[in-house]
């Protein structure tokens, strides 16, 4: 989210600013990315259509989606290795029976995921991967535990995440970020608001609330949009940013003065009350060498609900990992016990 969808916002905004999509370079790391000087006629917005905008972003979106599919392999491989270390079908059935007898959310989700993937196989994995499913790590672990073939799991995951899910998200965000498409959407909301008002007699101002929500979302994505550190100094002759200039970067934020003060305090390493390129470069990511306004702010707030959900997912994964470790330990102990019993049986036979 921090990389891809701010990029989609930048592409849509650049196309509308350049009034054309012809020649507009949308590749993430290209040096001429979203530069209007590379564009060609016509410059009358006739090419700034949903189809052309979607075509500009779909390949980066799909590459990102395939990358997330690769990221699902470790839970699958770890779980499969644990399952192949000696667990038997009887032990698996026993574990499922124990899960059925319990009512906690972990066992219910575990049971549902296992049953769904076991019943539907390739199609089940494809469906689970085709929407923003934050609990998909559980699915990967279950597939490994069920010894699903590698290519069955990976191809289904790649198609779901890298084709269906990301293109669905791209459609939503291109429409959301594009001014023309969003105005069409507002017309629909106005019609809906009229129907609701006719029934209830109350004007809920749905389109106004949706527009406000969109503005808030756009502001958030703009804060997360990534760019080279040099971009901050492209219009500054002395190549230095003083407090007033930093304040202008965050002027749309509610607490712009507080944010500007935090940024200056965090990155003004030499204490000259100005930010230079060498100081901003310290904030650049090691992965892409870029920064964002959000990353420059050391006190950028994190959503409480987001933190709670991430903690829930972490607990869910840890619970499943612990259950795998317990299963491995029980399997090894069973092998040891069987070997010990066999040894005692042999000794008994010799005495006879």
pLDDT score recorded for residue 66: 93
pLDDT score recorded for residue 300: 61
Decide if 211 is inside a domain.
no
pLDDT in tens, 225-248: 778 888 888 777 778 888 898 898
Decide if 115 is inside a domain.
yes
Decide if 122 is inside a domain.
yes
pLDDT in tens, 327-342: 667 767 777 888 888 8
pLDDT score recorded for residue 348: 76
**Residue 263 above 70 pLDDT?**
yes
pLDDT in tens, 15-31: 888 889 999 888 877 77
pLDDT in tens, 139-168: 787 788 788 899 999 999 999 999 999 999
pLDDT score recorded for residue 167: 93
Q: Mean pLDDT, to the nearest integer, of 61-84?
A: 85
Neighbours of 313 (CB within 10 A): 15
Q: How far apart are CA 288 and CA 86, in angstroms?
A: 43
Burial class (CB in 10 A: 0-12, 13-18, 19+), 249: middle
H helix runs in the chain, sequence order: 4-18, 50-70, 73-84, 89-101, 105-129, 136-145, 150-159, 166-177, 179-200, 206-224, 243-249, 256-267, 277-280, 293-296, 304-351
Give the residue with greater pLDDT, 224 vs 206. 206
Decide if 31 is inside a domain.
yes
Decide if 74 is inside a domain.
yes
Decide if 152 is inside a domain.
yes
Number of independent structural domains in the chain: 1
Neighbours of 14 (CB within 10 A): 19
Q: How far apart are CA 81 and CA 144, in angstroms?
A: 8
- Residues near 44 by Cβ (< 8 Å), separated by ≥ 6? 19, 20
Q: Which domain holds residue 157?
A: 3-177
Decide if 51 is inside a domain.
yes
Q: Mean pLDDT, to the nearest integer, of 206-211?
A: 88
pLDDT in tens, 1-17: 556 778 888 888 888 88
Question: With bands split at pLDDT 50, 70 and 90, how would you rate the model's confidence at 135?
Answer: low
Decide if 79 is inside a domain.
yes
SS3 label, residue 291: strand
**Residue 323 above 90 pLDDT?**
no
**Residue 258 above 50 pLDDT?**
yes
> What's the pTM?
0.62
User: What is the DSSP annotation of 68-79?
Assistant: HHHTTHHHHHHH
């Amino acid at each position: 989210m921090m990389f891809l969808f701010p990029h989609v916002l930048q592409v849509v905004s650049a196309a509308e600013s350049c009034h054309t999509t012809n020649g507009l370079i949308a590749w993430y790391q290209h040096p001429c990315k979203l530069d209007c000087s590379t564009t060609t006629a016509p410059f009358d917005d006739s090419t700034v259509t949903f189809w052309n905008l979607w075509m500009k972003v779909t390949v980066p979106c799909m590459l990102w989606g395939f990358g997330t599919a690769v990221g699902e392999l470790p839970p699958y491989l770890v779980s499969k290795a644990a399952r192949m270390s000696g667990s038997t079908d009887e032990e698996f059935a026993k574990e499922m029976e124990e899960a059925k007898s319990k009512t906690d959310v972990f066992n219910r989700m575990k049971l549902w995921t296992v049953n769904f993937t076991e019943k539907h196989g390739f199609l089940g994995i494809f469906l689970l991967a085709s929407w923003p499913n934050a609990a998909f790590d559980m699915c990967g672990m279950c597939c490994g535990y069920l010894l699903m073939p590698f290519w069955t799991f990976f191809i289904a995951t790649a198609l779901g995440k890298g084709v269906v899910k990301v293109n669905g998200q791209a459609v939503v965000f291109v429409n959301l970020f594009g001014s023309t498409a969003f105005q069409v959407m507002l017309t629909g909301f106005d019609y809906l608001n009229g129907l609701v008002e006719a029934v209830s007699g109350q004007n809920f101002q749905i389109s106004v609330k949706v527009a406000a929500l969109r503005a808030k979302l756009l502001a958030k994505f703009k804060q997360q949009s990534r760019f080279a550190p040099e971009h901050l100094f492209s219009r500054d002759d002395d190549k230095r940013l003083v407090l007033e200039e930093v304040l202008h970067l965050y002027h749309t934020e509610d607490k712009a003065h507080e944010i500007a003060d935090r940024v200056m305090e965090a990155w003004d390493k030499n204490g000259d009350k100005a930010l230079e390129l060498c100081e901003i470069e310290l904030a650049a990511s090691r992965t892409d060498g870029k920064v964002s306004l959000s990353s420059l702010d050391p006190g950028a707030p994190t959503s409480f609900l987001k933190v709670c959900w991430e903690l829930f997912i972490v607990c869910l994964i840890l619970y499943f990992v612990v259950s795998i470790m317990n299963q491995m330990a029980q399997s090894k102990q069973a092998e040891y016990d069987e070997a010990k019993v066999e040894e005692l049986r042999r000794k008994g036979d010799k005495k006879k």
